[in-house]
Amino acid sequence: MVNRKRTDISFLLICIAVILAVNVLSSSYYGRIDFTAEKRYTLSPVTKNILQKLKGNIQVTVYLDGDFPAGFKHLRNATRDVLSDFKAYAGGNFRYAFVNPSQGDEATQQATYEELISKGLEPTNLSVKTENGLSQKIIFPAALVTYNGRQIPVKLLQNRMGATPDEVLNNSIENLEYAFASAIVKVSSGGKPRVGFTEGNGELTDLQLSDAMRTLEDGYEVGRVDLRQITFEGLDKLKLLIIPKPDREFSEAEKYKLNYFVMRGGRVLWAIDQVNAEMDSLQGHGAQQLTFPKKLNLDDILFKYGVRISYNLIADMNCAQIPVNVGSVGGQPQIQLVPWLFYPIFMPTAQHPLVRNLDGIRSEFASTIDTIAVKGIRKQVILSSSPYSRILNAPGMISLKMIEQEPDPNDFKSVPLPTGVLLEGNFPSDFKNRPVPDGIPQQVSLPDTSKFTRMIVLSDGDILKNQVNAKDNSPFPLGYDRYTQQQYGNKALLLNIVDYLTDDSGIISLRNKEVKLRLLDRAKVRAEKLKWQLINVLFPLLLVVLCGVLQQYYRRRKYG
């Protein structure tokens, strides 16, 4: 009896020791088993590596808290799950909190809203059902990442034109890991990559690029670059050059510097308009304008790198609207919004992480792009027109009277026309076996082929241009249409492009994460509603009764 008691005590002590050891190990090491087919609850190795190398404290404040409909609750819970995984891998260097910005009285709420908007967080108007009908509620589906006094906003809700609420929610959840990982890298990196917007050749002005530059300033050192004055040492300090809609010819010396930058592994975003066509000119010349090719002197260098921007304009039935005076009533002009075929909306269909799940991209007077076979260069189309588009070659005449003609879809049937191309590889030098042009005082040696690098070519520079408020000359957000009050995906595209071209860690690959929609068949639910209600209500009761009967039967057989 005594030996048995000692054995029981020893067994109890062993069990306690095992439990304590398991708790100690579980507090030191983190692990989980993800049984989902797409591994939706598993962080990528790229994210784990970023979190494990954190050297300072990261604070994430999420402003998606409060009383929401089911969809936003799902997004909030998914955000909490992602951040808890981040904290598990980052340890004590990562903290997060959820805050309800709608707390307090009306004055407090308004002050909070203004502060969040000033920090770059975008509000959303939410319609909430109440006893008196629908009421409008302002929410902030966004977060703020803070590190050593620096802050970067994170957008949680990824809207997309034509997508159902379930698809919008799904896209937003897919993007959470990338959004937070990218923000953490930007805010915690020791030095910001330098991004230069070229000037001196009639490019977009500071006012037209205001929102683009302000948006990039959170994670990059942004400024203007004059290719006529910058030295080779200055080019070596840049990570990315953006050429935003030049209007005047580039000299051979400027092209030499561009080629030098590419040969050294520099990244370039070309946003080029090959045809001279502007809405301001159209409205000021009797509602018609002659479109003609621009002379930018960039055809040879782009051809050498593997692309050719054609001298034409795309007329697309999937287009933005413009205000037009359709008459006068009582001396007052009657303004009406009508589709303008030369303002195409590019709906990203490619699965590349640069454009995956992006909203439509608004453009103005875009052209087509042809790709050229160049050894060592990999090309991929990332933007294209809709299947209902056609080409107007330059020179040609366009007129506002075109809006009076209802376009025939049969005349616009076409294959999607490329308007944005990604190039990757080792590029050949445009100045191979050519003399150094005049205006280059410093002798440098250029290799025949570049280091591995990337560049993106867009056939419309207006993709980077923000509209301007005519009343106070203030810039609207990039991608915002002041006429239709609709926000397009231009800003998200710019951020993705700059992230992809400046980052070598592969963070952009996180945008390939896919969470499959497994939705209920609503028609089947309605048809079989009663059956499943009865099963869910009666089956558990019958199961309890059956278990009771079997227990009584067993007891009678054993003890009867």
Note the pLDDT tens digit of each residue in 373-390.
999 999 999 999 999 999
Q: How far, CA to CA in Å, does 292 sit from each of 216, 250, 428?
A: 33, 18, 30
Greater pLDDT, 458 or 66: 458
Residue 39: which region, alpha, beta or left (left: phi > 0; alpha: psi -120 to 50)? left
Closest C-alpha to 77, from 65, 88, 89: 65
* pLDDT (0 to 100) of residue 41: 67
Label residues 54-79 b or e (16+ Cβ within 10 Å = b).
beeebebbbbbbbebeeebebbbebb
Q: With 70 as the cut, is the pLDDT of residue 283 above it?
A: no
* pLDDT (0 to 100) of residue 379: 95
* pLDDT (0 to 100) of residue 442: 75
pLDDT in tens, 128-173: 555 555 656 788 888 998 888 888 888 888 776 666 777 777 788 8
| Average pLDDT value over all residues in the chain | 85
Q: With 70 as the cut, is the pLDDT of residue 331 above it?
A: no
Q: With 60 as the cut, is the pLDDT of residue 93 above it?
A: yes
The average pLDDT across 447-468 equals 94
* pLDDT (0 to 100) of residue 520: 62
- Provide the β-strand partners of residue 422: 380, 456
* pLDDT (0 to 100) of residue 190: 63
Q: With 60 as the cut, is the pLDDT of residue 30 above it?
A: no
Closest C-alpha to 277, from 374, 118, 402: 402
Q: How confident is the model at residue 54 (pLDDT cuts 50, 70, 90)?
A: confident
* pLDDT (0 to 100) of residue 501: 92
Greater pLDDT, 39 or 82: 82
The residue length of the chain stands at: 560
* pLDDT (0 to 100) of residue 507: 76
* pLDDT (0 to 100) of residue 535: 85
| Residues in contact with 385: Cβ distance below 8 Å, sequence separation at least 6, in sequence order | 314, 316, 318, 344, 346, 366, 414, 416, 417, 419
Long-range CB contact pairs, 137-140, < 8 A, 24+? 137/102, 138/102, 138/113, 139/64, 139/66, 139/68, 139/72, 139/102, 140/63, 140/64, 140/101, 140/113, 140/116
- In this structure, are residues 450 and 423 in contact, taking their beta carbons and an 8 Å threshold? no
149/136 Cα distance (integer angstroms)? 34
Q: How confident is the model at residue 4 (pLDDT cuts 50, 70, 90)?
A: low
Cβ atoms within 10 Å of 128's Cβ, excluding its own = 12
156/171 Cα distance (integer angstroms)? 10
Cβ atoms within 10 Å of 45's Cβ, excluding its own = 9
For the chain, what are the domain ranges? 35-188, 194-504
The torsion angles phi and psi of 287, rounded to 5 degrees, stand at 65, 20
* pLDDT (0 to 100) of residue 5: 65
Q: What is the CATH number of domain 35-188?
A: 3.40.30.10
Q: For residue 368, what is the DSSP state?
A: -
The average pLDDT across 247-275 equals 95
366/385 Cα distance (integer angstroms)? 9
Closest C-alpha to 429, from 238, 236, 260: 260
Greater pLDDT, 427 or 171: 427
Q: How confident is the model at residue 87 (pLDDT cuts 50, 70, 90)?
A: confident
Cα 487-170-30 angle, rounded to 5 deg: 125
Closest C-alpha to 227, from 253, 190, 208: 253
Instruction: Choose the weakest-confidence range: 94-108, 205-219, 403-417, 520-534.
Output: 520-534
For the entire predicted model, the pTM comes to 0.77
Q: With 80 as the cut, is the pLDDT of residue 328 above it?
A: no
- In one-letter notation, the amino acid at residue 277 is A
Closest C-alpha to 142, from 166, 162, 169, 124: 124
Q: With 70 as the cut, is the pLDDT of residue 242 above it?
A: yes
Q: With 60 as the cut, is the pLDDT of residue 29 above it?
A: no
pLDDT in tens, 444-453: 888 999 999 9
| Residues in contact with 164: Cβ distance below 8 Å, sequence separation at least 6, in sequence order | none
Q: How confident is the model at residue 475 (pLDDT cuts 50, 70, 90)?
A: very high
Instruction: Choose the weakest-confidence range: 183-187, 224-228, 496-500, 540-544.
Output: 183-187
- Provide the β-strand partners of residue 327: 334
Lateral strand order in the sheet of 377-384? 221-226, 194-199, 240-244, 267-271, 453-458, 418-425, 377-384
255/227 Cα distance (integer angstroms)? 9
The average pLDDT across 44-52 equals 83
* pLDDT (0 to 100) of residue 131: 56
Closest C-alpha to 322, from 352, 343, 346: 343
Q: How confident is the model at residue 392 (pLDDT cuts 50, 70, 90)?
A: very high
The average pLDDT across 521-525 equals 72
| Residues in contact with 219: Cβ distance below 8 Å, sequence separation at least 6, in sequence order | 152, 183, 186, 187, 189, 192, 193
Q: With 90 as the cut, is the pLDDT of residue 261 above it?
A: yes
* pLDDT (0 to 100) of residue 530: 84
Helix axes 70-90, 45-52, angle to 10 degrees: 60
* pLDDT (0 to 100) of residue 250: 96
Q: With 90 as the cut, is the pLDDT of residue 368 above it?
A: yes
Please give the CATH topology (third level) of the domain spanning 194-504. Rossmann fold (3.40.50)
156/10 Cα distance (integer angstroms)? 54
* pLDDT (0 to 100) of residue 28: 58
CA dihedral 62, 67, 68, 69 (to 10 degrees): 150
Cα-Cα-Cα-Cα dihedral sign, residues 431, 436, 442, 443? positive
Cβ atoms within 10 Å of 6's Cβ, excluding its own = 10
Helix axes 165-188, 70-90, angle to 10 degrees: 30
The average pLDDT across 308-317 equals 95
* pLDDT (0 to 100) of residue 124: 80
SS3 417: coil
Q: How confident is the model at residue 312 (pLDDT cuts 50, 70, 90)?
A: very high
The average pLDDT across 92-118 equals 86
* pLDDT (0 to 100) of residue 454: 95
Q: How far, CA to CA in Å, does 212 sit from each of 256, 319, 356?
A: 27, 22, 20
